[in-house]
Every structure is written in structure tokens, then in C-alpha cells.
A and B are shown apart, each in its own frame.
Chain A
Amino acid sequence: MEFAELIKTPRVDGVVLHRPFMPTVEGTLCLTGHHLILSSRQDNTEELWLLHSNIDSIEKRFVGSLGTIIVKCKDLRVIQLDIPGMEECLNIASSIEALSTLDSVSLMYPFFYRPMFEVIEDGWNSFLPEDAFKDLESMTDEWRLSDVNKDFSVCPSYPPLVAVPKDIDDDTLRKAATFRHSGRFPVLSYYHKKNGMVMMRSGQPLTGTNGRRCKEDEKLINATLRPGKRGYIIDTRTINVAQQAKARGGGFESEANYPQWRRIHKALERYEHLLNLFDISFDVVISSMDRWLSKLEASSWQTHVKEILTTACLAAQCIDREGASVLVHGTEGTDSTLQVTSLAQIILDPACRTIRGFQGLVEREWLQAGHPFQQRCAQSAYSNSKPRQESPVFLLFLDCVWQILRQFPCSFEFSESFLVLLFEHAYASQFGTFLGNSTAERLSLPEKTVSLWSWVNRPQELERLTNPLYEANSLVIWPSVAPQSLLLWEGVFLRWNRSSRCLDEAYEEMVHIIEYNKELQNKVNSLRRQLAQLETEDPLLQTP
């Protein structure tokens, strides 16, 4: 087995584990192909199981022969391991470094993981495009499911089946695809049942410097407009960035060629820039108030949350309030575009606020839509290596969902823990769901790995993720995007730097209040039935 070569010292005794807000644990450190395990071999003491793929970077320090490894994880946790013996420490460190940066996907843990739970429903089949289309068909007959991309030749990052206007044939799609970045021709993202308006997404049009046009592309998107109606194109780039893209063959839809569309430019920065911002590595020792706020400000993470939410609200507003259809794109159409289209659906569509609906949304708008998870989530905040394709695009999306959840705490079926779970699994997981960058790359996964949804959609797990406050809310929910309304997502960013005991207790108290109420309702109902029965059995009562 190849892993064995990478593990020079599989086991060290007398290792001490330090974690903030937790007692230190002394025990035996074991390295396996996929895990770093620390066990005290005593009952009642928590063992540490850490996936190597969760490790973002490590630091080594030596004091005499006592070595210390600081392990920084992608879920933002930082732990410290004191390892007696310099050689052992060096061996462990180099093994961790090697094992946490394996290049080959097929060596990843999901290919080795065997579920210890009973799979009730295979998550790989839970959210197929054809099933989603059936829902659409029940609402409108203006769309069809095209298999133009069945061999991924038209657009490598699209799924084999996409929803397109009924009157547009596959040839038109093929031609339109040549006019869009990475072949990402406009496809249906969301159908607003209330007024029949739609949201589409695509890559940027390849107009280039000489203003190329593509009749098929124009025909395709115009086919989504009702007679006499106009639509909005939301370009997630500023007009300047979009102008500059022309020099590299990209561009935007000109008024002349798309007279029925009004273009709006927003400033959702491209992902390269985002990476630096993710490093808000919250220093536990920051003691001065000023430094904290300026650090938070300098990270501009919150600025991004605000901009993304604002753009999503704008898209939702165009659809719901202006009664117009919308096309969203940035450059590739795989990052900020998906943030906007998926958040707009959370705002507009109550179904997306359920646990299952949200899984479906992540499947449709992120996984099947070709967000390159593997590239984006290869490293997170603590990585020392120079970023290439990494960017916390998906985490920003989850943060925005959390913001809406905070503002509408009773309108979501899931609780914050579901969002945290998705964040963790996007970066390191035993499940295959977030492996690869597109449907094409994931073709073999259903046979070889377990889907995250198989794990989530079991009663005990669903119960853990359910928001006890949930009451279905059929409305469009408009969040506030004022800076005062947007909070730092402590459940992710401060999770390991604070004691959450009091907040956890408050949560339990809340659950208790609700459960006690339900229990009483059941008791009262059953007593009422009993009473009714007694009353009917009472012969005197029947003769008034």
C-alpha cells in the first residue's frame, strides 16, 4: 500500500494534545493513510480523529528534544501536538504534509470509506436533473430538457441534461455555446411559479474587442421573454472589469444586439482576490478593540457578504417585483454567478428553505452547475502555498444563507449546524459528494463512494439538523443588507476560539421549551379523546 511509504513513524506514545477551551489530552498518536488519531486509551476521554485532507498547513517547533506541531485545519481549527523525540516529530510532520497534499483524487478517503450506517436512500440518486425537470413540467410547458451535452462535448462543466426554452433546438444551443465562456450557454436556473418569470445563468459572452455577435445566443435568451417584455442581465463584474475582459476574448451583451435586455453591473470580485480575505485568522490574543475592528474591516469578508446578498436580492427583486426575467453571469459563470442564482432562490422559493430543498439547491446550483469544488476547496485560510484556484466561494454563499437565517429564524427547516456541516464536508469529507469539479469528473463516484446526502437523509441526522423553530413560510423573504444587520458568522469563524457553552445551553433551553409544549399538546389531546369517550359512554349525557 502506497500510504505506508509515506508513514515513517506510524505511532508515538506520550503525545500531548492542546486545543483551545478543552482540557489537554495525553495519549498515543497514530497515523493512518487518511487519519491522524490521538487516543488516550482511557474511557471517557475524547479521541481525536482528524482527516489528513482537513489539514491546511502545519508548523514545527522544537524546544530541546520536545517537538511541537501546530496543525491548522481547513475548518479553521488550530491544534497543537507536543511530541517527545525530535526524530518522531519530524517524521510525523513530514508524513502529515505528504498525506494532506495527495494529488490523486483516487487516493482520497471517500474511495476507502465504508459506511457504518444503513443507507436508507442513496443520495447519488436523490437529486437527478430529470426529477427536477418533472417539477418544472408541472408548472409550465415552455421548457424542455435537452441532452445536447450528453457527452460533455458542448460544455464540459455542465451536466448531460439541461433545461432550455422549448423552441430552441440543440443546434442553436451548440452555436450559442461557442459564444459563451467555457461553452456555458444560458440555461434555466429557476422558474418563479408566481409569475412565470425565470432566472438563467451562463458564462460571459465572447464578444471580444471587435464586438462579435451570435444570433443563436440572442435567440436563445430572447426566447425566455414574454412578448413585449424585457429582461435584466446581471453581470457580477463592474463595467470596467467587463470592458477589460474584451481584450481576452470575453465581454458583455451590448445594448445594440440585446435591445430587450437591460444590463446591471455589480462588483462581486473575482475569486483570485477573495482568497486573501479569507485569512481573517482570528487571533485569540487580539486584545485591543481597535485592532479587532480594523482587522475585520481589512479582511473585507463582510463587505463581500453584503455585496453578494445585495446582488441576489436585486435579482430576486427583478423577478418577483419587476416581473422580469433575469440572466446572471460573471466571467466563467461558475462562482459569483452561482452565489447570486442560489441565494435568489433562497429568497424567492420557500422550498429551498427546507432541508431537502436546500440539498437540491446545492446539487443543482453548485455541484451540477459545475462549481469547481476540488479546485476551490483544496486549501483554505492557513495555507502557505500560493493560491492557484482556491477561493472560499461556497463558504461565502453559506455565510449569506446564515445571514438570512438569522433574520428569518423561523423560516428555515434547517439550523445553522447544517450550514456548518456543508462547509466542513466541502473541504474535507469521507463522502464523495464534493469531490471533483463537475458532473463529468464525478461520473464514477456513485459506484465508488458514498454520497453525503445518504448520510444526511436519515432520521437521526435529520433530527440533529432540524431547526426547532421552523414553521413553513410561503413568502418571499427580503433580508436586510444594511451593515448593521450583517453579523460575523461566529459559528464558523470563532467556533474554535470561544467557549460556546452558554449559547449551546440557550439552544437546549429553546428546544426544551418547544418540546415540552408539544408533549403537553399530545397529553391534552389524548385526555380530550378520553374525555369525549367517557362522555359518550355516559348514558345520562345522551339524553339531555
Chain B
Amino acid sequence: MEHIRLPKVESVRLLDRVSPRRSRVGTLYLTATHTIFVENEAGVRNETWVLHSLVCSVEKQGASASGCPLVIHCKNFQVLHFVLPRERECHDVQLSLQRLSQPESYEELYCFSYKPNVDEEERRQEWDFLGLKADYSRMGLPNSLWKLSPVNRHYKVSDTYPADLFVPESATPPVIVGSSKFRSRGRFPTLSYYSKENHAAICRSSQPLSGFSARCLEDEQMLEAILRSNPRSDFMYVVDTRPKLNAIANRAAGKGYENEDNYSNIKFQFLGIENIHVMRNSQQKMLEVCELRSPSMSDFLEGLESSGWLKHIKAVLDAGIFIAKAVAEEGVSVLVHCSDGWDRTAQVCSVACVLLDPYYRTLRGLMVLIEKDWISFGHKFSHRCNHLVGDPKEVSPIIDQFLECVWQLMEQFPCAFEFNERFLITIHSHIYSCQYGNFIGNNQRERIELGLRERTHSLWSYLWTNQADYINPLYRPDHSQTQGLLRPSTAPYCFKFWRGLYNRFDRGMHPRQSVEDYLSAIQEETQQLEEQLASHKQKIAQLEQEQGWRSVTQKAVGFDKSPTAWARGNDLSLANTPQDYTGGFLTSSPCQPKTPDSSLILLPKDLNQTSESNLSNGSDQESGIADLSCRSPLSEDSTRDADSDEAAYSAA
């Protein structure tokens, strides 16, 4: 609380990004965990809650007669434009927020103060919900080819690797340790995925410390052991996911890539994915395009193109496809690395897993996959997601790109995934929110030291409990799209801009009716019908059997098939409100009575006002389109969330 210089500011305006005239006035509160904007309109309790840990930047703009603007960018791509009455207040709020949104120590993070209403026993169970051992045994491990190695049990060999690692049966501890000394950060080649159908495996590591000519016998033996663990194959791929130039540059620093001559039977390949700095800048450019106020089609397409974002997404997916095909179609094992083996490597291995194994396309499977290739293998979430104040050069949207690759695949294979877009967006949000302990820290060792399992809650169990919200109605486990390897097209036109994530809070941009929610509601109804059918059948059988012996007391429950049974929300104002199509020509906001001073309105004032207000009343009370756009993922309080979403639209 000591960082809050000013807990409350009154007469603050929250501007609507699309049509700034549609602003709202209210009070801004700063609490220990949230910034809260409460609209002062009589009768409505409209609140916008923003978690401090989601705040990415707080920018104070030049003051004018109307006040001092404060723009808050959030990591979930929400942008809030406030106007505070006085510059002094604005300054104080800015300083407070900057401090609150950039904690200096892990202890300050929200997950340590987030206390939902569950007892300790339940909390502990949350963490037992997902285990990687179960996933490895699902793959059929350990077996005669792969064993669980205790070598990193105390994080001695590689402090960024997990304790439990699978290595080839023939890899002895000296070989492993020797190999680890020849790899950046000691990240030696280890198993990420094993295909029990054909024994091909995906292994991952960091780059070798080969420089211009260095060799390491143990590392060569390690790769040999991986190759031998796939008895039906006489070679393996070694994939460097970096562009060749980057890899060559690393040689000068004593790092680099494998020399095909030194390793027996490897085929070496570069995959050309750019580094974290390129990705960070690219996303930044794309977000600038998303934020443009009423951009033309050309502004948007040119901006999207010059950001290069979709090109990078394509590169990641292409790399994943290369590996998935090697494993599934050629039955060849692949060793994947980049520089440290925790960014591009994590992306590419997990994309390949999604393509290869239908399990990872289920709700639980995707959580397991993130737990495996990202969390356990030491993707540096706290650095990449800027959880603490730190080096801005360490920040990069690597995990965003993985989630987007999954989304792009969902667009191509609508029946193949058990989960929906909302699931990905919710995970994205919580990777940044620090509300749950899952993504805190940079590796397993740090997480254990922080005692996250003992002190925080797990997102996975929350998502599982609320799975009804995240189910794709088109998914069927026995559908042909669900089976086996996905073979996506990577023609450029298959890559789409992910409006649902990057313009998530611009609710006016999204389809006003959701097919998915409609179908989910139908399925829910179908389930009820099935139950009724069964109970009716039973009753009829009973009645017929009894032949009038006993009375049936239970009446059939009437089933109400209302045409809007699927309509979950009740916010009609959005769908029913025209946007600003006029480029400022028509001055009146269509849902508000016209302001008398608007000189551009040509009609006599009195006439106009009566007819206009009648009209707007009439239309605003019309109903029929429920608002089904994505809900707020922050879980603590559903009513509050609804509010914050509502507010976010107008703010956007």
C-alpha cells in the first residue's frame, strides 16, 4: 500500500477509443492489486477492474484544457485512455501505477495474495491435478529404449532443466554430464516427445559449444544414443531453429551448431526462426496497427505486413511441421535446439506435439503440453512476460506465438481441437496476470525455491473446473479430423490476423453472434433432452406395466424451447449500436439523445429532440441479439468480470 500515492481520483473520464465522444465519467481507485474505475451514472454500477500485474505501460500525455490524459497499456492488449482533471493527480497515479505494475520481488506478485475461497486441502489438490509423469507413461515411458535419469535431480547438471528427464537407455551419467558441459547452460539433449507407434522421438537441447572446431566425444555419443533409441531408423535430424547467420555468429562466441562430419548419421537443418528481439519488435509494430484509430484497409494491411508478425508465425509453424512430419511420416528422431533451447525450441517442439498427437489437442492435453515443454523445460516466463521489473530486452512474446500457432491450426481444423479460442485467450491472460503460481519464475528450481505449490493456486485446476466455457462444440473424439497427424496448409493466405486476441477488448470488432456459443447451448439442451427422453421412456414403461395400478405422481417437466435459449448475456447495446461510419459527419451518438448544441443537425430542435429520443428509446429496448463475445478470464468474481468487460468495450 505504501506505493499508492493517491488512492482515489474523482471526475475521471474513460474515453472510448473508437468514438472518443462516447466517454464515461467516474471515479478512479487504486488498490493494492487493482486499478478500478467506477462510473458515476445513477442506477448503473459499471466498473472496470485492471490488475496491476497486467499493466504493461502507463503513459502520461500532454495536459490540455480538458484534463491530463493517462494511457494504460495492458499485457492482455487492453488499452485504457483516462483523462484526469489535474496534472498533479495524473502524475501521482502514473508513478503509483508504474511502481505497482513492476514489482521488484516475487513476493509482491498477486499470486501470493490471491486467496479465493478454497481450503488448504483443496488448494493442494489443485497442484496434483496435472503431472508430467502421467504424460510420459501415456507415451509408454520408461521402456527398454528410454529411461528416467536421476542425473539432474538436484539441478546440478543443468539448473534450468527439470529434475526428471528421460534419456536414451544407453546414455550413462558420464556421457550425459560430458554432453551437458558441451552445451549452453548445461542443457544437454533430452527427450521431449516419444512416439510409441514408431519409436521416433523429439529431443531438445541448447546449442553446442562447438565454436569453429571444438568437439565433444560425450556429446557425439549422446546423439548416437538417441539415434540408437530409434531402432528402425539409420539417421536422425538435428534441427537448429535459428537462421543460419545467427548460428554462424554464435560460433565466434564459442557456441554454434553441430558439424555433420563429427556426428555419425545426422542430417543437419536450419529452420530460420528469428530471435526474441525481432519477435518483440514485430509484435510491438503489429499492436501499433491494432491500435490505430479508424485505420483504412491499406493502413491495416500495410502495417500488418510490415510488422512481419504473420511471417514469424508461419516460420514457427513451418518448423513444427518439419519435425512432425519427420517423426510421423519418416519415423526419424529429431534433436531440436536454438541458442539456449528455451524459446524457439519450446515453440517448435510444442507445435510439433500438437500436430502429432491428438492428445495435445484436448483440454487437458494442451495444459500438459505447456507444463512439459514450457514450464518444466525452463521457458523463462518471468523474464519473457516481464513479471518483475527487469531488463526490457529479456521480454518477448514467445508463448504468444505458440498460442497463436494453435489458434491458426484451429482455424484450419475446426473439429480437431477439444478446446475453443476462449481457452487460449484465458491461458494467455493468466500467463501475464500472475494470479496463479504456474508461470511464476523462470525454471523449476526457482519455482520450488519460491514454494509456489505450497503458497499459490494452480490455473490448470481452475480451467478444468470451468471447462464448460472452453469446450469446442464441434469437437468429437471419433471425428476423422481428430485422428493422427494434422497436415496444415502453410500457404500465406492461411495465416490470419488474430483479432480475438489482439483486438480482444475492441468488442465492436467481433462478430455479434457466436456460432460456437449457439452450438454449445444447443448441445447443452440436447443433453437435457436426452435425459428427458430416458425418463419419459422409463415412465411410460412403468405406466404401461402398472396398467393403472398405481398413480404416477411425478409430472413430466415441461421443456421450454425458447428461441433465445442460447442467449447467455443480455447486453444488447453493442450489437444494436451503429459504429462511427460517418467520419464525424453525424455528431450525435446514436444511443444518446442528441445534444442541442450540435449545429450540424439540421432539424428544428424541439421536433428533433422528441422524435429522436423516442426513437432511441425504442431501438435500445429492442432485443434479440445477445452479446456473446468472449468473457473476462479473470476468475475471482463473475459479476465484477461482467462489469469489467462491459467497461472495457466502451473504453476500447
Chain A contacts to B: CB under 8 angstroms: 194-195, 228-230, 260, 262, 264, 282, 284, 286-294, 296-297, 300, 302-303, 305-306, 310-311, 313-314, 316-318, 320-324, 406-411, 469, 471-488, 490, 494, 497-499, 502-503, 505-506, 509-510, 513-514, 516-517, 520-521, 523-524, 527-528, 530-532, 534-535, 537-541
Contacts and interface: CB of A to CB of B under 8 A. Distances in A.
Nearest to B311: A289
A292 B304 CA distance: 11
Contacts of B503: 482, 484
A317 B543 contact: no
B392 interface: no
Sort A-B residue pairs by CB-CB distance and give the 5 closest, nearest first. A292-B492, A483-B300, A506-B414, A293-B305, A297-B301
B290 interface: yes
Contacts of A485: 499, 509-510
A181 B329 CA distance: 66
A409 B563 contact: no
B586 interface: yes
A473 B625 contact: yes
Given A286-B491, A286-B492, A410-B515, A484 B497 contact: yes
B120 interface: no
12 contacts: A262-B602, A284-B491, A313-B579, A316-B578, A471-B564, A475-B575, A480-B579, A497-B491, A520-B529, A521-B559, A531-B540, A539-B548
A226 B591 CA distance: 23
Nearest to A297: B301
B527 to A, nearest CB: 10
B522 A513 contact: yes
A527 B559 CA distance: 12
- The B interface is mostly helix, strand or loop, or mixed, namely loop
Given A477-B575, A488-B493, A531-B540, A300 B529 contact: no
B515 A409 contact: yes
A452 to B, nearest CB: 28
Contacts of B611: 195, 323
Contact of A524 (B508, B559, B585): B559
A523 B536 CA distance: 10
B469 to A, nearest CB: 18
B616 A321 contact: yes
B615 A195 contact: yes
Interface in B469-528: 473-474, 476, 479-481, 489, 491-497, 499, 503, 506, 508-515, 518-519, 522-523, 525-526
Interface stretch (B182-190, B262-270, B549-557): B549-557
Nearest to A502: B413
Contact of A540 (B301, B302, B551, B604): B551
B491 A520 contact: no
B217 interface: no
Contacts of A481: 579, 581
A482 B508 contact: yes
B624 interface: yes
A486 B579 CA distance: 14
Nearest to A508: B415
B545 to A, nearest CB: 11
Interface string B265-290: 00000000000000000000000001
Q: State the majority secondary structure of interface residues on A.
A: helix
B598 to A, nearest CB: 11
A297 B302 contact: yes
B251 interface: no
Nearest to A314: B581
Given A229-B603, A488-B493, 13 more contacts: A229-B607, A284-B491, A296-B301, A305-B297, A317-B582, A320-B619, A469-B518, A476-B619, A481-B579, A490-B493, A509-B474, A517-B522, A524-B559
B543 A534 contact: yes
B414 to A, nearest CB: 4
B512 A407 contact: yes
Contact of A480 (B509, B544, B559, B622): B509
B256 to A, nearest CB: 28
Contacts of A524: 529, 532-533, 536, 559
A505 B499 contact: no
B314 interface: yes
A297 B105 CA distance: 47
A390 to B, nearest CB: 23
B552 A538 contact: yes
A506 to B, nearest CB: 4
Contacts of B297: 297, 300, 302-303, 305-306, 483, 486
A537 B548 contact: yes
B581 A540 contact: no
A494 B493 contact: yes
A313 B582 CA distance: 9
B636 interface: no
B492 A291 contact: yes
Nearest to B612: A323
Given A317-B586, A478-B577, A531-B539, A484 B544 contact: no
B452 to A, nearest CB: 37
A398 to B, nearest CB: 18
B296 interface: yes
B546 to A, nearest CB: 8
Given A476-B576, A478-B578, A480-B579, A513 B523 contact: yes
B298 interface: yes
A317 B624 contact: no
A322 B600 CA distance: 12
Of A316, A317, A474, chain B has the most CB atoms within 10 Å of the CB of A317
Nearest to A307: B297
B495 A289 contact: yes
B491 to A, nearest CB: 7
B310 A293 contact: yes
A427 B40 CA distance: 57
Nearest to A320: B619
A228 B604 contact: yes
Interface string B556-574: 1001010110000000000
Contacts of A311: 581
Contacts of B544: 534
B523 to A, nearest CB: 6
Contact of A289 (B310, B511, B540): B310
A159 B590 CA distance: 36
A373 to B, nearest CB: 27
**Counting chain A CB atoms within 10 Å of each CB, which of B305, B308, B412, B618 scores highest?**
B305
Given A286-B491, A410-B515, A535 B602 contact: no
A287 to B, nearest CB: 7
A103 B579 CA distance: 46
Contact of B492 (A262, A287, A472, A474): A287
Interface string B288-330: 0010001111111110110010110010000000000000000
A406 B511 CA distance: 7
A499 B519 CA distance: 25
Given A290-B305, A317-B581, A484-B506, A410 B492 contact: no
Contacts of A229: 603, 607
B508 A474 contact: no
Contact of B529 (A264, A287, A316, A521): A521
A481 to B, nearest CB: 6
B296 A478 contact: no
A517 B561 CA distance: 11
B506 A302 contact: no
